[in-house]
Chain A
Amino acid sequence: MQRQSNAVRIRLPALFADRIDGTSTVEVTATTVADALRALTDRHAELTPLVWTGDSALNPLMILFLNNRQLVRSGLDETVHPGDQLEIIPAIEGG
C-alpha cells in the first residue's frame, strides 16, 4: 500500500485482516484515536462489530496500542499524528 502523507497507520491482527481480504495495514487520516478507528470502520464496515459495541463504545475486549504503548480505555481521545502507528488487538486468544 502506498504511504499517504498525514496518515496514521493501523496495523491489524489476522482476526481483522482475514475479514477484509488479507489487508493487514490500513492508513487513515485522523486527529484522535477514536477518529482513526471510525475511519477504519467507515472504510471496512465488516470490522464494525469487532471495534465498536452497539452503542458505539470501544469493544471492551479490544486493546489498543499507540506506537507500542498500551492505551487505557480513555485513550480513545488521545491525539494522533501523521506517522503514528495504532494497533487493535483482541484480549482473548487461544490455540
Chain B
Amino acid sequence: MLPSNVRILPNGAAGDPQTVFYHRCTIDLARGAVDIRDLPCRNLEEVLGGFGRSFQYLAARDVADAFATENPMVVNTGLLTGSNVMTGLRTYFSAYSPLKVSNTGLPAAMWSAGSGKFGTKLKWAGLDELILENKADHPVIIVIRESDTGPQVELRPADHLLGKYCHEKILTLYAEYPDAHFAAIGPAGEHYNACYYAAIALSTENLLKTGDDKCRWAGRGGMGAVLGSKNVIGIVAEATDRIAKLSPETRALNKEIATGPGSRKFREKTRGGLGGTWANYEPLEQFHMVPQNNFRPTGDGKPALMFRDALEDDFVIKAESCYRCGINCHKNIYERKADGSKGAFRAKFDYEPLNLLSTNAGVHDPDEVWPLVALIDHLGMDSISCGTTINYVLDYNARHPDAPVFNGATFGDADKIRELIEQVGTGQLPDLGQGSKRLSEQLGETAYAMHCKGLELPAYVPDTNPGYPWAIAGGHMSMATYMLVAMEGNTSLDYWVQAITERGLLVVRDDLLGVCKFAGLNAEVAARCLGDEIGLHVTRAELLAAVRRAFIRALWLERKQGYTRDDYTMPAQVFDNPNPAIKAEPFVTREFFAALSDRVWEVFDREIASLPPVEDEATG
C-alpha cells in the first residue's frame, strides 16, 4: 500500500466518502497563521482530489478580482500522486484566474497541473492540500517539512530569490533544502500585474542534478500570477523519499504504462515509440493543420522545417523523464559538438512551445527558435498563452504595417519576438501581458485573437475543433476534441454533440487522480488501480460519474462568474473566413455552431440543474 496521507476508515468505500479523510493545511498569509487538519470528503470527487476537490472550495467564494486577497489558491494533489503508480506525480494549482474571464470581467475558476517531483514530496511531507489565503506583506517562501508530529509549515523571507529565473530560484533553494523539491514563480510571476500568464515551475530530479532549466510547468491560466499576487515566491516540500514496495498489480500496471500502447506515442522511437508530442507535426501536416502564422496554415510545406528528423543533424535530442517515469516524454535538445557528441542543453521541444514559437510565429530556423522556448521558461510564463498572444501581435502588425504596435514585430522577426518575450516577462509590457482577449478588444480586432473564454488556444487549429469553447482549463487538456476531424473526419452535428458531451469532457479524469495523461490509462484500468494501490474500490462507472460531476460543477462555476452563452464561442475568423488550405471540410459555420451550442447546452443545462448540492465543509 502506498504512503498516502489520505486515510480510509475501515469498511470505507466510494459509497460513503465521509469515511475518507485527507490532510489539509491552510495558511493565512497576512497573519502567518497555519492550520492543519483532517477533513472528511463530501463526495467521490473530493476523494479523488485535484480540481474535483479544489473547485468545490472555490465555489464557496465570491471573487471579483483574481488578485484580490479573497481569491484563495489551492495547491493539491490527486489520490495517486506520490503513489507507486508510474506518472503519479501531479500537483494542481487552482484559483480564480486573471486570464480566464467572462465578458462581464469576472474571473473564472481554473486549475493548472504539472509533474516533476514537487507533488510527491508534498505528499511525503504529510499534506494532500495546501490552501493559501490572503497575501503576505513581503515576499516569502513556504517551507513544508515532515516531522514525527506531522508536517511543519513556516513562512520565510524570499528577498534573496527576487529577480532570478525560475530554475535559478529552484537551484538556490536546493542549496538550502537538499532533501526538498520546489515550486517557484519566475520574474513574470513577480510582475503579476503586468503578466497574467505567469506560470509555476516545478522541480525535477534532472534539473537539480544538472543545473539545466528542466522544470515542468503548471502553466495555464496564470496560476503563477496568482501566487505572485500573494507574495509567495516559492514553496519548498522537504521529506525523505518514501518508496513503498511495489505490489505485483502495480508492478504489472507500471510495465504496461512504460511499454504498452497508451504511452507509445510519447516514447522514443528507439524504444518502440513515436517520438513524443513533437511528432504531431508530421501527421498534422498531412492535412495542413499545423498552425502557421497565427493559426492560418498555408500549405507551403514550411512546417517540415521543424520536423524532428530535420533537426537531428544539428542537435542531440535526448528523451528524459520525470521521477521514476519510464515514458521519457521530455524531448530535450542539446548542442551537437563538432565531434557529434552532446554539448550544452538548449531547450525542451514539446509540440506546443515549439509550434507556437516557431511555425506559428513564422520562424523556421531552429537556431532562432530554441532561445525563444528557453527564454519563456526562464522567465516563468505559459508558453501557450504567451506564444499565442505574441502570434496575435505579429498578425496585427502584418495587417497594419503603417501603424504597428509594440516593437513592430511581425512573422519571422525572431529578434523582435525575443524582445517582446523579455519585456513581457519582466513586467514591461502590461498590454501584452494581459493576454489576447483583452489586447484584441483594446485594439478593436478580435476576429483573429485565438482564445476561448480568455484562455489562449493550444497549437491545434480552431477551424477543426468546435469543442474548444467548452474546455474548462485549456483547449486541449480539458476537452479532447482537438484531433477528431483529422482522426475521424466526421463533421455531423450528432457526432460533435456526442464528442463534446460524452467523450471529450472525460479527459479531465486525470486532473483528479494525480496521474499524467501520457500514461494513457483507460478508465477501467484507472478504477482498478485505485483499488490495487490505494484500497479505494470504485467501479469504472462510479469513477466516470464523479469525473462528469466535477466537469459539470466547473461549468456551473463558470456561470456563477457571469458566463452566458455568448462567452462560449470561437474566434470569428473561423466562421467568417474559412481557411482553404486546410484539407478538411470547413464545417464550423455560424449556423453549425449555433445548432451545436443549442444541443450541447441542452445536455449540460439539464445536468447543471440536477447537480447534487454540496454541504458546507465540516469545520471540526
Binding site for B on A (CB under 8 A): 11-14, 17-19, 21-24, 49-50, 53-54, 59-61, 63, 65, 68, 70, 87-95
Check if B490 is an interface residue, CB within 8 A of chain A. yes
- Residues of A contacting B523 in the complex (Cβ-Cβ under 8 angstroms): 14, 17-18, 22
* Assembled-state Cα–Cα distance A12/B521 (Å): 11
Interface residues of B, count at CB 8 A: 40
A21 to B284, CA, bound (A): 29
Asked if residues B458 and A61 are in contact (CB atoms below 8 Å), the reply is no
Chain A CB within 10 Å, residue with most, of B264, B351, B482, B522: B522
Q: For the complex formed, measure the closest distance between the CB of A20 and the CB atoms of chain B, giving whole angstroms.
A: 10
Q: Are B458 and A14 in contact (CB under 8 A)?
A: no
Q: Is B2 an interface residue (CB 8 A)?
A: no
Quote the shortest CB–CB distance from B90 to chain A (angstroms): 12
Interface residues of B in 486-525 (CB under 8 A from A): 486-490, 503, 506, 516-518, 520-525
For B276, give the chain A residue with the smallest CB separation. A93
Q: Are B261 and A11 in contact (CB under 8 A)?
A: yes
Whether B280 contacts A92 by the Cβ 8 Å rule is yes
In the complex, B336 has a CB within 8 A of chain A: no
The distance from the CB of B542 to the nearest CB of chain A, in whole angstroms, is 13
Q: Judge whether A65 and B488 touch: CB under 8 Å.
A: no
| A94 partner residues in chain B, CB cutoff 8 A | 277, 280, 351-352, 458, 460, 476-477, 482-483
Within 8 Å by CB of B525, from A24, A60, A89, lies: A24
Contact assessment for A22 and B540 in the assembled complex, using a CB-CB cutoff below 8 Å: yes
Q: Does B283 contact A (CB under 8 A)?
A: yes
Are the C-beta atoms of B517 and A49 separated by less than 8 Å?
Answer: no
Whether B483 contacts A14 by the Cβ 8 Å rule is no
Q: Min CB distance, A13 to chain B, in Å? A: 4
Nearest CB in chain A: distance from B485 CB, A: 10
Residue pairs across A and B with Cβ atoms less than 8 A apart, 11 shown, are A14-B523, A23-B524, A24-B524, A24-B525, A59-B487, A61-B486, A89-B265, A91-B265, A92-B486, A94-B458, A95-B477
B260 touches A11 (CB 8 A): yes
Q: 1/0 per residue B549-589: CB within 8 Å of A?
A: 00000000000000000000000000000000000000000
Question: Does the CB pair A89–B261 fall under 8 Å?
Answer: yes
Q: Which of A13, A14, A18, A19: most chain B CB closer than 10 A?
A: A14
CB A16 to nearest CB in B, in angstroms, measures 8
Q: Is the interface of A mostly helix, strand, loop or mixed?
A: loop
Which residues of the partner chain B approach A23 to less than 8 Å between Cβ atoms?
524
In the assembled complex, B163 has its CB within 8 A of some CB on chain A: no
Query: Contact between B522 and A68 (Cβ–Cβ < 8 Å)?
Result: no
B262 interface hit (Cβ, 8 Å): yes
Q: How far is the CA of A23 from the CA of B524 in the complex (A)?
A: 8
Cα separation A95 to B351 with both chains bound (whole Å) = 10
Whole-angstrom distance between the alpha carbons of A18 and B541 in the complex? Answer: 11
Tell yes or no: B274 within 8 A of A by CB: yes
List 10 tightest A-B contacts by C-beta distance, closest first. A22-B524, A95-B517, A17-B522, A14-B522, A91-B283, A13-B261, A92-B483, A93-B265, A49-B488, A87-B261
What's the minimum C-beta distance from B523 to chain A, rounded to whole angstroms?
A: 6
Q: Which B residues are in CB contact (< 8 Å) with A49?
A: 488-490
Counting chain A CB atoms within 10 Å of each CB, the highest count among B265, B286, B489 belongs to: B265
Q: How far is the CA of A90 from the CA of B140 in the complex (A)?
A: 45
Q: How far is the CA of A37 from the CA of B334 in the complex (A)?
A: 41
Select which of B265, B487, B522 is within 8 A of A24 by beta carbon.
B522
8 Å CB contact of B489 from A53, A88, A89: A53
The closest CB in chain B to the CB of A10 belongs to B261
Q: For B490, what are the chain A residues with a Cβ–Cβ distance below 8 Å? A: 49
B276-294 with Cβ < 8 A to chain A: 277, 279-280, 282-284, 286
Verify if B266 is at the interface (C-beta below 8 Å from A). Answer: yes
Which residue of the partner chain, among B260, B284, B521, B540, contacts A92 with CB atoms under 8 Å? Answer: B284
Q: How far is the CA of A50 from the CA of B286 in the complex (A)?
A: 17
Q: Given A22-B540, A24-B522, A95-B477 in contact, is the A50-B483 Cβ separation under 8 Å?
A: no
**Interface residues in B382-403 (C-beta closer than 8 Å to A):** none
Q: Which of B233-280 contact A (CB under 8 A)?
A: 260-262, 264-266, 272, 274, 277, 279-280
Whether A61 and B476, one on each chain, are in contact in the complex, defined by CB atoms closer than 8 angstroms, is no
Contact A14 B521 (CB under 8 A): yes
Whether A93 contacts B280 in the complex (CB less than 8 A), given A65-B264, A87-B264, comes out as yes
**Closest Cβ–Cβ distance, residue B618 to chain A (whole Å):** 34
Once the chains are docked, how many angstroms separate the CA of A50 from the CA of B495? Answer: 13
**Does A22 contact B525, Cβ atoms closer than 8 Å?**
yes
Please report the C-alpha to C-alpha distance between residue A49 and residue B495 in the assembled complex, in whole angstroms: 11
Q: Are A18 and B503 in contact (CB under 8 A)?
A: yes
What residues of chain B lie closer than 8 Å to A50, measured between beta carbons? Answer: 487-488
Instruction: Give me 16 other A-B pairs in contact (C-beta within 8 A), A21-B540, A94-B483, A95-B477 excluded.
Output: A13-B264, A13-B520, A14-B522, A17-B522, A21-B524, A24-B522, A24-B524, A60-B283, A60-B286, A61-B486, A89-B274, A90-B483, A92-B283, A94-B460, A94-B476, A95-B518
B246 shortest CB reach to chain A, Å: 21
Q: B518 — nearest CB in chain A belongs to which residue? A: A95
Q: Are A68 and B272 closer than 8 Å at their CB atoms?
A: yes
Which of B262, B279, B476, B524 has a CB less than 8 Å from the CB of A13? B262
| Complex-state Cα separation, A68 to B272, whole angstroms | 6
Chain A residues near B274 (CB, 8 Å)? 63, 89, 91
Contacts known (A92-B483, A95-B516); A22 close to B522, Cβ less than 8 A:
yes
Q: Is the CB of A18 within 8 A of B506?
A: yes
Residues of chain B within 8 A (CB-CB) of A24 are 522, 524-525
Closest Cβ–Cβ distance, residue A4 to chain B (whole Å): 20
Of A61, A65, A68, the contact of B487 (CB 8 Å cutoff) = A61
- Cα separation A91 to B286 with both chains bound (whole Å): 11
A59 contacts across to B, CB distance below 8 A: 487-488
Select from chain A the residue with minimum beta-carbon distance to B495.
A49
Q: Which residues of A contact B283 (CB under 8 A)?
A: 60-61, 91-92
Assembly CA distance A59 to B518 (angstroms) = 22
Chain A residues, CB < 8 A from B483: 61, 90, 92-94
**Chain A residues whose C-beta falls within 8 Å of the C-beta of B286 in the assembled complex:** 60-61
In the bound assembly, the distance between CA atoms of A62 and B10 in angstroms comes to: 46
Taken together as a complex, chains A and B put the C-alpha atoms of A91 and B523 apart, in Å, by 21
**Residues A18 and B260 in contact, CB atoms below 8 Å apart:** no
Q: Contacts A92-B284, A93-B277 given: A18-B522 contact, CB under 8 Å? A: yes
Q: How far is the CA of A91 from the CA of B276 in the complex (A)?
A: 10
* A12, A54, A60, A94, most chain B CB atoms within 10 A: A94
- Expressed in whole angstroms, the Cα–Cα distance for A26 and B16 within the complex equals 35
